[in-house]
Amino acid sequence: MATGGRVTMANFINVILPIPLEKSFTYSITAEEAALLQPGMRVAVPFGKSKIYTGVVQCIHQNPPEVYEAKEIHQLLDDYPIVNTTQLKHWEWIASYYMCTLGEVVRSALPGAFLLESETLVLRNREYEIDENTLLDDEFLVFEALQHQTILKVQEVSAIVERKNVLPILQRLLEKKVIVLKEEVYEQYKPKLVRYVKLGTEHASDEKLEELLKTLTRAPKQSQVVLTLFQLQGKSQHPIKVSELEASSNTSKAVIKSLVDKGILEEYFIKTDRVNYDGDADNSETKDLNEYQKAALVDIKASFQTGKVTLLKGVTSSGKTEVYVKLIEECLEKGLQALYLLPEIALTTQLISRLQEYFGEKIAIYHSKYNVQERVEVWQNVLQEKPKAQLVIGARSAMYLPFSKLGLVIVDEEHESSFKQFDPAPRYHARDAAVVLGHLHKANILLGSATPSVESYHNAQTGKYGFAEITRRYGNVLMPEMELVDIKEASRKRKMKGHFSERLFMEMEETLQEGAQIILFQNRRGFAPLMECLTCGHTPQCLNCDVSLTYHQYRNQLRCHYCGHHTALPEICFACGSPDLDTKGFGTEQIEKEVSGLFPEAKVGRMDLDTTRGKHGYEKIITAFEQKELDILVGTQMLTKGLDFRNVNLVGVMNADSLLNFPDYRAHERTYQLLTQVAGRAGRTKKRGRVIIQTYNPYHQILKQVTTSDYKGMYTEQLYEREQFKYPPVNRIIKVTFKHKNYQVLNEAADWFAGALRTNFGGTVLGPEYPPVARIRNQYLKHIVIKIRKAHSLAQTKANIRRIEKTFKAVAMFRSVRVIYNVDHI
């Protein structure tokens, strides 16, 4: 080959830096380094004036960069690639499809500990005692500095050890658990075990109790305890905690213990299935499937044979998880890896311990609550194909792991919108990206849900996806009985106690008397403010779009976020003329208060953003509810995700209207999904559960579809509307957001861009329009929504948009405007 007569060729690598650069950056390497380096290894490289970044080698070549002098790398950080070529391909797809840079994908994909850079902040890890003797000299210097200063920048570490290159030292300190990185301080949650106490079975009846008390006449303290326990049990159906008995009877632990030793009292724990896997139990056999599950499994496998992504639609509690288990089992037997993706919030200890029974140590769990070490560990285990990471269960970021022989991808609760990353880039949909990953590995791909997304069901209907279905709950448990309660009518007849209809109130009373539990659902806090008529429940709608208008306080207007249509805030209801208009919703906190007033005896808990904010708030509330310390749980969306409570007989939906009126083209689909999922929490055992849905619109089509489980009706209607209004799945949308601190500049920029788009796409460009919150952190925001017909090439459209962006950025005034793309915005 002609090499231009040069004797030695210079070597270069392209490095993906974890920052939003259009292109990868080229660095020069020595011949020795060239012999060692492979794509997917990390290198520490200088960038800009003084920064050091960790980057990932994309390729090795002999072409010097044309417009700049290639700098040398600082150092190799790996002996082997930690990112494989399939991943690089997948990440390139993500960058291209979701219109972001490869650097942004790398930043999102790699655990923070892999990406140390000069700006990283390090702290002392206080969870571990460190044996100073195990530290090397340079490590010790850092350790010592952290005794005096709580936070160090990597650059400061550099000064301390008097070396430019400190990333390897920090890497070692991380591995030795001496330091943690700033954003990842984390604590392991251990579910508490509560001790409860009851009268021994042989003393439980009234006569027996009298006999018992006689024998205890000479032990007044013990007799006092027994009497107190008897009283407590009479008062409520709650399990009695040992601590509660101790306090009420004014005795000591020792007295209670002696009664337990004598067999007069019995101690017990409520079985919760939430113990961490301790690794010594033998793996249980997987459960035999019933005929419906078997039939679904056969269909799924047949569909896999054709190489199609397959959708499993199975009603709540139909035993989808057990079907997944069979598929996972087969996959692992073949020695392949399996990926089980769940929305973050459904990733509960409940589910994990269930799977651990079958797959024990083969399970690795990966999600954002995990600290650096744990994430790096899982990464390494997957990379090295270790048996202990053969099955990865995780939230959306688990699809970034270095799988090399993925045989099965399961996306459970595939309809969940939280699979879509909103901010920062890449704004990917983990379900869709996981499907692409599965294809790259030629793996089997299963999407599961009781309420599939309209787009997935559409794919199944059109034959793009395979399909399987389970229409019965496991164990012949009946679907809960659903009832719509008209609160408009109830208000008129003055039959409301606060936000509770008489109907719901009575059902609650009955359920509590039976000793069963209740879930009350109220839409999430902080939803877009809408205007609602207190008399008829009407919420004004946009004339051009199928969405509710939102209330904008600062302009005193009702506006549509999609097309910009707006009207002044009306003084009377458009529908009924009543002047009683309300612009606030009501929250979980208020419901909780009302419940406590209505049922002073009941123990009420609340699960929403506020109460779950603490590190393990979410787990704690679930545990308390499972252990029956609470009778009633008031909560938001968080309640709906895959929780398997055994003792819930009643679910009350406080107000379905706030869901229906959400200003979003998916509001109706989401309402169906959410209500069906909440309802699914009721009556998961023999007794048929009840669901009461309160609404101003009992004749609303969607609510009827929910109560009759008419998924197909919902789908057909929604699909029709999406076609009418040019929304997915028939069309695709890209949302473009502009951000700038100057209002004038932002407006001109957005108008310019929209104009350029319109000349390219005609009538399928909406906006620019302000979002409901039009200024965030002193930056003004404006959106454009582009609708693209399926027949048009999405790639072509994106290329056009990019071209427009280039011209746009050439205008001096617009250069500082941030342009953000959200492809398949939901």
Tokens found for residue 66:
């044309």
The binding site for Zn ion (CB under 5 A) comprises 533, 535-536, 538, 542, 544-545, 560, 562-563, 565, 573, 575-576, 578
Smaller CB distance to ligand ADP: residue 81 or 642? 642
Residue 769 DSSP SS3: strand
- Report the distance separating Cα 17 and Cα 102, nearest Å: 8
Indicate the helix (H) or strand (E) that contains 733: strand 731-740
Rounded least distance, CB 351 to ligand ADP, Å: 8
Are the CB atoms for 470 and 479 separated by under 8 Å? no
Choosing among ligand ADP, Zn ion, none, which partner's interface includes residue 289 (Cβ < 5 to 8 Å by kind)? ligand ADP
Rounded least distance, CB 489 to Zn ion, Å: 14
Q: Write the DSSP symbol of residue 710.
A: -
**Which positions ≥6 away from 805 have C-beta within 8 Å?**
753, 819
Which one of 99-107, 317-325, 499-507, 602-610 is the stretch in contact with ligand ADP (CB under 6 A)?
317-325
Kindly write out the interface string for residues 626-655 of this chain, putting x where it contacts ligand ADP by CB under 6 A and - elsewhere.
------------------x-----------
Residue 333 DSSP SS3: helix
Output b/e per residue, 48-80; b: 16+ Cβ within 10 A. Answer: eeeebbbbbbbebeeeeeeeeebeebbbbbbee
Q: Report the side by side order of strands in the sheet with 11-16.
A: 71-72, 25-29, 11-16, 51-61, 42-47, 75-76
Interacting positions 146-205 with ligand ADP (CB under 6 A): none
- DSSP letters for 656-686: THHHHT-SSTTHHHHHHHHHHHHHTTS--SS
Spell out the SS3 assignment of 204-247: CCHHHHHHHHHHCCCCHHHHHHHHHHHHHHHHCCCCEEHHHHHH
Rounded least distance, CB 562 to Zn ion, Å: 5
Nearest to 722 by CA among 772, 767, 669: 669
Smaller CB distance to Zn ion: residue 536 or 804? 536
Rounded least distance, CB 205 to ligand ADP, Å: 33
Smaller CB distance to ligand ADP: residue 289 or 766? 289
Which one of 217-225, 284-292, 371-379, 733-741 is the stretch in contact with ligand ADP (CB under 6 A)?
284-292
Are the CB atoms for 426 and 100 separated by under 8 Å? yes
Q: Is 100 annotated as a binding residue?
A: no
Among 33, 322, 414, 669, contact with ligand ADP (rule: CB under 6 A): 322
Smaller CB distance to ligand ADP: residue 236 or 685? 685
Rounded least distance, CB 667 to ligand ADP, Å: 24
Choosing among ligand ADP, Zn ion, none, which partner's interface includes residue 565 (Cβ < 5 to 8 Å by kind)? Zn ion
Smaller CB distance to ligand ADP: residue 290 or 716? 290
Kindly write out the interface string for residues 462-501 of this chain, putting x where it contacts ligand ADP by CB under 6 A and - elsewhere.
------------x---------------------------
Smaller CB distance to Zn ion: residue 429 or 538? 538
Interacting positions 536-595 with ligand ADP (CB under 6 A): none
Q: Is 331 annotated as a binding residue?
A: no
Q: How far is CA 694 from CA 142, 337, 407, 629, 742, in A?
A: 61, 46, 45, 27, 45
Rounded least distance, CB 629 to ligand ADP, Å: 21
E-strand stretches of 282-360: 310-314, 337-341
Smaller CB distance to ligand ADP: residue 131 or 288? 288
Q: How far is CA 801 from CA 95, 527, 753, 808, in A?
A: 15, 32, 9, 10
Smaller CB distance to ligand ADP: residue 27 or 645? 645
Smaller CB distance to ligand ADP: residue 14 or 293? 293
Q: Is 697 in the site for ligand ADP (CB under 6 A)?
A: no
Which one of 167-175, 281-289, 545-553, 601-609 is the stretch in contact with ligand ADP (CB under 6 A)?
281-289
**Which positions ≥6 away from 352 have C-beta within 8 Å?**
277, 363, 365, 393
Smaller CB distance to Zn ion: residue 563 or 745? 563
Output b/e per residue, 123-155; b: 16+ Cβ within 10 A. Answer: bbbeeeebeeeebeebbbbbbebbeeeeebebb
Rounded least distance, CB 705 to ligand ADP, Å: 20
Helix crossing, 242-249 with 220-235: angle to 10°? 120
Choosing among ligand ADP, Zn ion, none, which partner's interface includes residue 260 (Cβ < 5 to 8 Å by kind)? none
Choosing among ligand ADP, Zn ion, none, which partner's interface includes residue 799 (Cβ < 5 to 8 Å by kind)? none
Are the CB atoms for 18 and 103 separated by under 8 Å? yes
Q: Is 59 annotated as a binding residue?
A: no
Choosing among ligand ADP, Zn ion, none, which partner's interface includes residue 290 (Cβ < 5 to 8 Å by kind)? ligand ADP
Among 319, 360, 540, 605, contact with ligand ADP (rule: CB under 6 A): 319
Choosing among ligand ADP, Zn ion, none, which partner's interface includes residue 535 (Cβ < 5 to 8 Å by kind)? Zn ion
Among 222, 318, 356, 737, contact with ligand ADP (rule: CB under 6 A): 318
Smaller CB distance to Zn ion: residue 563 or 794? 563
Rounded (5°) CA angle 633-639-641: 155
User: Can you list the alpha helix ranges (DSSP code H) found in 680-772?
Assistant: 701-707, 711-724, 743-761
Q: Is 687 in the site for ligand ADP (CB under 6 A)?
A: no
Rounded least distance, CB 318 to ligand ADP, Å: 4
Amino acid at the residue 326 = K
Interacting positions 287-316 with ligand ADP (CB under 6 A): 287-290, 293, 314, 316
Task: For the chain, give percent helix, strand, coil, nearest 5.
Answer: 40, 20, 40
Q: Write the DSSP symbol of residue 530.
A: B
Interacting positions 371-390 with ligand ADP (CB under 6 A): none
Residue in the shown chain whose Cβ atom is closest to ligand ADP: 319
Smaller CB distance to ligand ADP: residue 290 or 417? 290
- Report the distance separating Cα 821 and Cα 768, nearest Å: 14
Which one of 283-291, 459-467, 511-519, 532-540 is the stretch in contact with ligand ADP (CB under 6 A)?
283-291
Q: How many CA atoms lie within 13 A of 151 on its CB side?
A: 8
Choosing among ligand ADP, Zn ion, none, which partner's interface includes residue 316 (Cβ < 5 to 8 Å by kind)? ligand ADP
Q: Is 320 in the site for ligand ADP (CB under 6 A)?
A: yes
- Pseudo-torsion of CA 415, 417, 419, 424, nearest 10°? 160
- Report the distance separating Cα 656 and Cα 486, nearest Å: 11
Choosing among Zn ion, ligand ADP, none, which partner's interface includes residue 371 (Cβ < 5 to 8 Å by kind)? none
Smaller CB distance to ligand ADP: residue 124 or 320? 320
For residue 480, say if its preceding peptide bond is cis, omega within 30 degrees of 0: no
- Report the distance separating Cα 461 and Cα 458, nearest Å: 5
Smaller CB distance to ligand ADP: residue 686 or 806? 686
Choosing among ligand ADP, Zn ion, none, which partner's interface includes residue 533 (Cβ < 5 to 8 Å by kind)? Zn ion
Rounded least distance, CB 539 to Zn ion, Å: 9
- Report the distance separating Cα 695 and Cα 699, nearest Å: 9
Q: Write the DSSP symbol of residue 281.
A: S
Which one of 285-293, 377-385, 490-498, 699-707 is the stretch in contact with ligand ADP (CB under 6 A)?
285-293
- Report the distance separating Cα 719 and Cα 462, nearest Å: 13
Binding-site residues for Zn(2+)? 533, 536, 542, 545, 560, 563, 573, 576
Residues that constitute the known binding site: 533, 536, 542, 545, 560, 563, 573, 576
Site for ligand ADP, rule CB under 6 A: 287-290, 293, 314, 316-322, 474, 644
